[in-house]
Amino acid sequence: MEARWLRDLLESVQRGEISIEDALARLRDFPYEDIGFARLDSHRSLRKGFPEVVFCPGKTIDQVIRIVERIRAREGRVLAARASPEVAEAVRQVFPDAVYHAAARMIVVGGAAPRDGRGTVLVVSAGTADIPVADEAAVTAETLGSPVERLYDVGVAGIHRLLDNREQLFAANVLVVVAGMEGALASVVAGLVDRPVIAVPTSVGYGASFGGLSALLTMLNSCAPGVAVVNIDNGFGAGYLAHLINL
| 224/126 same-domain check | yes
H-type helices in 35-150, by residue range? 44-48, 61-75, 85-94, 131-144
Together in a domain, 194 and 131: yes
| Burial class of residue 32 in the structure, from the number of CB atoms within 10 Å of its CB (0-12 exposed, 13-18 middle, 19+ buried) | middle
- Which letter, b or e, does each residue of 219-246 get, where b requires 16 or more Cβ atoms within 10 Å of its Cβ? beebeeeebbbbebbbbbbbbbbbbbbb
Residue 150 shares a structural domain with residue 207: yes
Sign of the four-CA dihedral 181, 80, 91, 142: negative
Q: Same structural domain for residues 97 and 126?
A: no
* Domain end among 83, 109, 135: 109
What local confidence, expressed as pLDDT, does residue 48 receive?
75
Per-residue pLDDT, 1? 47
Query: Could you tell me which of 141, 137, 161 has the C-alpha nearest to residue 230?
Result: 137
Whole-angstrom distance, CA of residue 182 vs CA of residue 206: 10
Phi, psi dihedral angles at 66 (to 5 degrees)? -65, -45
Domain end, chosen from 109, 133, 168, is at: 109
**Shared-domain flag, residues 22 and 103:** yes
pLDDT of residue 170: 96
In whole angstroms, give the CA distance from residue 216 to residue 180. 9
Q: Report in angstroms the alpha-carbon separations of 20 from 5, 12, 23, 31, 154.
A: 16, 10, 5, 18, 59
d(CA 222, CA 199) in angstroms, rounded, equals 10
Per-residue confidence of the chain (247 residues) as pLDDT tens digits? 455 667 777 888 889 888 888 777 766 666 777 778 887 777 777 677 787 889 999 999 999 999 999 888 888 889 999 999 999 999 999 999 999 999 999 999 988 888 877 899 999 999 999 999 999 999 999 999 999 999 999 999 999 999 999 999 999 999 999 999 999 999 999 999 999 999 999 999 999 999 999 999 999 999 999 999 999 999 999 999 999 999 9
Same domain, 159 and 242: yes
What ranges make up the beta strands (E) of 97-237?
A: 99-101, 106-109, 121-125, 148-151, 174-179, 197-201, 227-229
User: Residue 37 and residue 19: Cα distance in Å, rounded?
Assistant: 32
Q: Which domain holds residue 161?
A: 121-246
The answer as to whether 61 is a domain residue is: yes
| Residues 152 and 231 both lie in one domain | yes
Whether 202 contacts 230, CB under 8 Å:
no
Q: Report how many domains make up the chain.
A: 2
Q: Does residue 241 share a domain with residue 125?
A: yes
The answer to whether 119 and 172 are in contact (CB under 8 A) is: yes
Among 80, 109, 138, give the residue marking a domain's end.
109
Sign for the CA dihedral angle at 170, 124, 88, 64 comes to negative
